[in-house]
């Protein structure tokens, strides 16, 4: 459709309205009811300049437009001009586009628009990988694919929380309450057990805290024994995180976490000092942000140790040097808003114009309804349990609905995990989510399984018609596709590219998720209203062309969300 929107904007620009094409483009509306046309242009804003009543303006413009090849009708209704796109031309142009690009429709083939760094997931070693990290993981991964679809080259960074005083605590806890065998056997849950125990014990015995700080200091000074333990704990955590990433199908291009910047921070602190940005207050170094009405950004504590922000500033400079990014995107919970606002400002004060290319993408919280998860208490891999439970529940549904499905286990994985991912991104990401199995796995709701099911339905029609995925249609008769249900599907298909762009502009994978549901609904209405495998070859071919196009686009929309699209379910 956007092709036509552009054509209309071009038509109205210049002599007819004195507005620019861009202005008109953004003023064009899509009427709620197609009786009012495919696009409508409101004339209110022109009234002042032209000193005429808006309905008069609308009428004059319609007269001036006259006959236009791609429009079947142009009319004015009060202050609006309604444009009716020629349906056959619309259908032809959209299906031609989709069926030429095939599986690549909407996805750029070259990634030559520059680099975009995306910092996502970034869990903390030896601490729980919680539901918040799940959101960061799936949102960041989706943004990665969305920007790639637009022709950027993405660099996915897992900025692991692998440095800090918690490692001192863990070392003390390990020495006091655990053993090599136990950690080897139980992995991260043992690390968590002793970490929690440490905190309980430290309340009774504050000396433990000091001991932990001492160990961390030793780590910072390069003490071999404590560093060996640290790296062992890290390895254990990573192994378990990897399992979750594999279930989710998520990958990274870099695992440079906080520790990676240990030897790079001194230079940054020097730079801050040389630029006159550092103020020393009670031994601590900080950058004042009074003018910005923000609390100061702490750079080093009074014992000289660095902070979360120090590492982020250092990492940003490193990434700029290494990747020369067009944008560097950080996906975290909105609780970190202040943190990012502060250090982005510090980069700006350092005189780097690329401060404007740093983007924080905050998301809301996930809460679990009580009893929604049968889980061990204090479970580390809370997340892994959710995913496994989703797969189990999906397996049950498949057993009931389609017990003869050939690759049941694989489909249960794809649908169960897809459902959780989809639910995380269905609403604007800033919104909190109340996790509910009933919603997540509802095959008829606005859910991942619903979209996947619709895709599988399209595949099944194609199978019955012997239409392979890379099928090329010859001579489609577009005139048989001008009924409302078909045209509605076509309009959805046409919007895919602009939806991807909007999703990227707003950092909102939810646009893709909602689009996928809209397209699935339009397709199901089409499927319901029109028999596809009919006698009339012409009609059948034309309708199959729609089915195959929908298959491509649903599958690509799901791909952009990081979700698989099984062909049968």
Encode 290-346 in three state secondary structure. CCCCCCCEEEECCCCCECHHHHHHHHHHHHHHHHCCCEEEEEEEHHHHHHHHHHHHH
Q: Indicate if 159 belongs to the active site.
A: no
Residue 316 C-beta: closest distance to ligand ARG, Å: 8
Instruction: Give the residue, chosen from 5, 135, 141, 159, that forms a contact with ligand ARG under the rule CB under 6 A.
Output: 159
Nearest residue (CB) to ligand ARG, 211 versus 258:
258
- Contacts of ligand ARG in 80-119 (CB under 6 A): 119
Residue with the shortest CB distance to ligand ARG: 161
3 state SS of 53: coil
Whole-angstrom Cα Rg for the chain: 28
135 with 424: CB under 8 angstroms? yes
Residue 433 C-beta: closest distance to ligand ARG, Å: 18
Residue 124 C-beta: closest distance to ligand ARG, Å: 5
Nearest residue (CB) to ligand ARG, 330 versus 426:
330
Q: Indicate if 127 belongs to the active site.
A: yes
388 with 544: CB under 8 angstroms? no
Q: Indicate if 130 belongs to the active site.
A: yes
Catalytic residue among 5, 87, 133, 141: 133
How many whole angstroms separate alpha carbon 145 and alpha carbon 562? 8
Q: What x-and-dash track marks residues 116-155 binding ligand ARG by CB under 6 A?
A: ---x--xxx-------------------------------
How many whole angstroms separate alpha carbon 454 and alpha carbon 524? 7
233: contact with ligand ARG by CB under 6 A: no
Instruction: Give the residue, chosen from 237, 332, 342, 394, that forms a contact with ligand ARG under the rule CB under 6 A.
Output: 332
φ and ψ at residue 504, rounded to 5 degrees: -70, -45
306: contact with ligand ARG by CB under 6 A: no
330: contact with ligand ARG by CB under 6 A: yes
139 with 361: CB under 8 angstroms? yes
Nearest residue (CB) to ligand ARG, 120 versus 559:
120
Nearest to 480 by CA among 527, 522, 539: 539
169: contact with ligand ARG by CB under 6 A: no
How many residues lie near ligand ARG (CB under 6 A)? 9
CB 392: neighbour CB atoms within 10 A? 11
Residue 3 C-beta: closest distance to ligand ARG, Å: 39
3 state SS of 5: helix
Encode 521-548 in three state secondary structure. HHHHHHHHHCCCCCCCHHHHHHHHHHHH
Catalytic residue among 130, 301, 320, 408: 130
How many whole angstroms separate alpha carbon 382 and alpha carbon 188? 12
Nearest residue (CB) to ligand ARG, 233 versus 330:
330
Catalytic residue among 127, 141, 349, 360: 127
312: contact with ligand ARG by CB under 6 A: yes
How many whole angstroms separate alpha carbon 192 and alpha carbon 195? 5
Nearest residue (CB) to ligand ARG, 123 versus 168:
123
Residues that bind ligand ARG (CB under 6 A): 119, 122-124, 159, 161, 312, 330, 332
Catalytic residue annotation: 127, 130, 133
């Amino acid at each position: 459709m956007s092709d036509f929107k552009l054509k209309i904007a071009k038509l109205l620009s210049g002599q007819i309205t004195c507005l620019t094409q861009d202005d008109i483009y953004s003023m064009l509306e899509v009427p709620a009811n197609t009786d009012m046309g495919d696009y409508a242009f409101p004339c209110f804003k022109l009234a002042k300049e032209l000193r005429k009543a808006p309905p008069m303006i609308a009428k004059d413009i319609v007269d001036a437009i006259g006959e236009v090849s791609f429009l079947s009708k142009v009319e004015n209704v009060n202050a609006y001009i309604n444009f009716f796109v020629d349906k056959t031309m619309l259908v032809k142009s959209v299906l031609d586009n989709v069926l030429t690009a095939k599986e690549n429709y909407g996805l750029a083939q070259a990634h030559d628009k520059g680099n975009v760094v995306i910092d996502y997931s970034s869990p903390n070693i030896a601490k729980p990988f919680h539901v918040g990290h799940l959101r960061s993981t799936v949102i960041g991964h989706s943004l990665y694919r969305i920007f790639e679809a637009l022709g950027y080259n993405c660099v996915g960074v897992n900025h692991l929380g692998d440095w800090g005083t918690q490692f001192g605590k863990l070392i003390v806890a390990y020495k006091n309450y655990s053993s090599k065998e136990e950690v080897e056997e139980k992995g991260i849950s043992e690390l968590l057990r002793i970490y929690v125990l440490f905190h309980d014990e430290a309340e009774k015995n504050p000396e433990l805290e000091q001991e932990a700080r001492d160990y961390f200091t030793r780590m910072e000074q390069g003490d071999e024994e404590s560093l060996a333990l640290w790296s062992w704990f890290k390895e254990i955590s990573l192994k378990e995180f990897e399992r979750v990433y594999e279930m989710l199908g998520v990958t990274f291009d870099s695992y440079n976490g906080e520790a990676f910047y240990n030897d790079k921070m001194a230079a940054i602190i020097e730079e801050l000092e040389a630029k006159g940005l550092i103020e020393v207050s009670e031994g601590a170094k900080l950058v004042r942000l009074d003018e910005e009405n923000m609390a100061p950004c702490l750079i080093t504590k009074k014992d000289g140790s660095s902070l979360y922000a120090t590492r982020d500033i250092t990492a940003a400079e490193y990434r700029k040097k290494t990747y020369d990014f067009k944008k560097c995107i950080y996906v975290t919970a909105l609780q970190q808003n202040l943190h990012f606002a502060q250090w982005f400002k510090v980069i700006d004060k350092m005189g780097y114009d690329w401060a404007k290319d740093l983007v924080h993408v905050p998301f809301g919280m996930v809460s679990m309804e009580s009893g929604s998860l049968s889980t061990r208490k204090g479970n580390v891999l809370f997340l892994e349990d959710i995913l496994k439970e989703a797969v189990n529940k999906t397996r049950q549904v498949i057993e009931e609905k389609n017990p003869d499905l050939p690759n049941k286990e694989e489909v249960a994985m794809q649908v169960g995990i897809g459902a959780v991912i989809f639910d995380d991104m269905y609403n604007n990401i800033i919104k909190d989510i109340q996790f509910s199995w009933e919603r997540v796995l509802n095959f008829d709701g606005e859910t991942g399984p619903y979209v996947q099911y619709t895709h599988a339905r399209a595949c099944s029609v194609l199978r019955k018609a012997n239409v392979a995925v890379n099928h090329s249609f010859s001579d489609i008769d577009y005139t048989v596709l001008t009924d409302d249900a078909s045209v509605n599907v076509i309009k959805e298909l046409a919007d895919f590219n602009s939806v991807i762009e909007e999703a990227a502009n707003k950092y909102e994978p939810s646009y893709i998720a909602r689009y996928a549901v809209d397209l699935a609904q339009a397709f199901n209405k089409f499927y319901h209203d029109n028999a596809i495998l009919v006698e009339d070859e012409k009609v059948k071919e034309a309708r199959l062309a729609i089915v195959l196009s929908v298959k491509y686009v649903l599958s690509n929309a799901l791909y952009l969300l990081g979700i698989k699209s099984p062909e049968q379910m």
